[in-house]
């Protein structure tokens, strides 16, 4: 790959400031409510202080939900409850403010950005700011062909890095990460199965919209075949994303790593962001220190990936939709943790 050295991320990414975290813990011990009274909110507040590099923690004022969009060729096999090529409808509903992530972002005061990486529609149907990073129309059918060429995988990865830089430069202080994809959970299950060395049945979930038993069996068979093609690429994460991911997943991986470089904290959503996080961890082992897992989406592959990354979801409400909704639902919890840590007075 020309000019892109993934090994650089291991050097560029530093952990959140451990000294600041200790200072935040000491300050928490001096607040009125006894330590532990706020449960995980204390932990989140200390994590944010370390990420921001100062005590007391600053309130979260400019959160942004960022949704990477793409269609996947495997959707044509009936592995998803959504129609093949249906990512355009998800994108359009979100842009018009009529989707679940649009409603939640509006309610919680978060900005919302959609990044089209591989939506299978004419580019003229979407605004320029949405399509300007697009790599291709749809991704390849990963059970029989690569999702992307090597060049496309690098372009998508770099696009994710560019989005991370744009958000950091614009002042976004917390990212809520999600995807708008059809067939994306099949690609995610394949990546997690390959990296964890598991059988297809262990990483085959029912997707964001829920699928019946027959569709689950088709999805399991598809992941089984995709795993055979993925395993030879395990030594090179970008090659793995080209073989078994897709433009949206490659972009999310690049976004996660560059966000860690730029010291921007991120809330992960469901199995797609968890799969990309697992790939990113293989590239830079310190990167997960910059992420929170928003919620347990009930997907077995997500659970396996988060276990490997050592992230414990903040919420478990049985929300399976995806599209960033689980991460958005966790946003008020993170905002509350920041507010309590910032505004409660110390005991005299």
Mean per-residue pLDDT, 343-348: 84
Is pLDDT larger for residue 221 or for residue 1? 221
Residue 33 pLDDT > 80: yes
Asked whether residue 271 carries a pLDDT value surpassing 50, the answer given is yes
pLDDT at 2: 54
Residue 121 CB contacts under 8 Å (≥ 6 apart), including other chains: 85, 87, 88, 137
Residue 154 bears catalytic tag: no
Domain assignments of the chain as residue spans, ordered by start: 7-58+339-343, 63-333
Beta strands 111-118; 174-182: pairing state: unpaired
pLDDT, tens only, 96-145: 999 999 999 999 999 999 999 999 999 999 999 999 999 999 999 999 99
Residue 268 in 3-state DSSP? strand
Q: Is the dihedral of CA 316, 319, 320, 322 positive or negative?
A: negative
Q: In which band, very low, low, confident or very high, does the pLDDT at 36 lie, cut at 50, 70 and 90?
A: confident
The SS3 assignment for 177 reads: strand
- Separation of alpha carbons 243 and 255, rounded Å: 19
Q: Give the pLDDT of residue 1.
A: 42
Q: What pLDDT, on the 0 to 100 scale, is given for residue 80?
A: 87
Angle ∠(298,304,310) on CA atoms, nearest 5: 110
Q: What is the pLDDT of residue 210?
A: 81
Q: Give the per-residue pLDDT at 74.
A: 96
Q: Is 30 helix (H, G, I), strand (E, B) or coil?
A: coil
Encode pLDDT of 182-204 as tens digits.
999 999 999 999 999 999 999 99
- Mean pLDDT for all residues in the chain: 95
Ordered alpha helix ranges (H), the chain: 7-12, 18-29, 40-52, 87-95, 100-108, 128-131, 150-170, 184-196, 213-230, 237-244, 247-261, 271-283, 300-309, 325-343
- In sequence order, which residues have a C-beta less than 8 Å from that of residue 54 and are 6 or more positions away? 20
The predicted pLDDT at position 346 comes to 85
**What class has domain 63-333?**
alpha beta
Q: 115 forms bridges with which residues in the sheet?
A: 68
If you average pLDDT over residues 295-300, what whole number do you get? Answer: 94
For the whole model, what pTM was predicted?
Answer: 0.96
Q: What is the pLDDT of residue 316?
A: 94
pLDDT at residue 27 is higher than 50: yes
- Look at 65-69, 185-189, 316-320 and tell me which has the smallest mean pLDDT: 316-320
In tens, the pLDDT along 222-257 reads: 999 999 999 999 999 999 999 999 999 999 999 999
| Catalytic residue of the set 166, 323, 343, 346 | 323
SS3 state of residue 56? coil
Token digits of residue 315: 């919420």
Whether residue 91 has pLDDT greater than 70: yes
């Amino acid at each position: 790959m020309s000019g892109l050295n993934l090994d650089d991320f291991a050097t560029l990414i530093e952990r959140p400031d451990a000294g600041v975290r200790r200072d935040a813990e000491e300050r928490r011990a001096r607040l009125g409510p006894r330590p532990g009274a706020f449960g995980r909110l204390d932990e989140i507040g200390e994590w944010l202080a370390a990420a921001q590099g100062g005590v007391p923690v600053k309130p979260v004022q400019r959160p942004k939900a960022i949704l990477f969009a793409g269609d996947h060729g495997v959707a044509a096999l009936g592995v998803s409850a959504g129609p093949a090529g249906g990512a355009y409808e998800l994108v359009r509903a979100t842009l018009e403010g009529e989707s679940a992530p649009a409603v939640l972002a509006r309610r919680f005061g978060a900005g919302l950005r959609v990044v089209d990486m591989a939506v299978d529609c004419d580019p003229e149907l979407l605004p320029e700011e949405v399509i300007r990073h697009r790599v291709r129309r749809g991704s390849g059918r990963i059970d029989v062909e690569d999702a992307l060429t090597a060049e496309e995988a690098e372009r998508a990865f770099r696009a994710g890095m560019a989005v991370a830089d744009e958000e950091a430069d614009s002042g976004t202080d917390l990212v809520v990460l999600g995807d708008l994809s059809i067939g994306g959970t099949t690609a995610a299950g394949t990546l997690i199965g390959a990296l964890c060395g598991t059988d297809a049945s262990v990483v085959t979930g029912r997707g964001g919209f829920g699928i019946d038993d027959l569709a689950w069996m088709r999805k399991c068979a598809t992941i089984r075949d995709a795993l055979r093609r993925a395993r030879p690429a395990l030594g090179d994460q970008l090659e793995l994303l080209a073989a078994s991911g897709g433009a949206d997943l490659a972009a999310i991986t690049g976004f996660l790593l560059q966000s860690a470089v730029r010291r921007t904290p991120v809330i992960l959503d469901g199995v797609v962001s968890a799969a990309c996080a697992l790939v990113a961890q293989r590239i830079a082992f310190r990167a997960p220190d910059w992420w929170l897992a928003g919620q347990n989406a009930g997907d077995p592959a997500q659970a396996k990936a988060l276990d490997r990354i050592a992230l414990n979801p903040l919420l478990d409400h049985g929300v399976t939709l995806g599209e960033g909704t689980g991460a958005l639902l966790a946003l008020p919890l993170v905002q509350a943790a920041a507010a309590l840590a910032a505004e409660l007075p110390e005991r005299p």
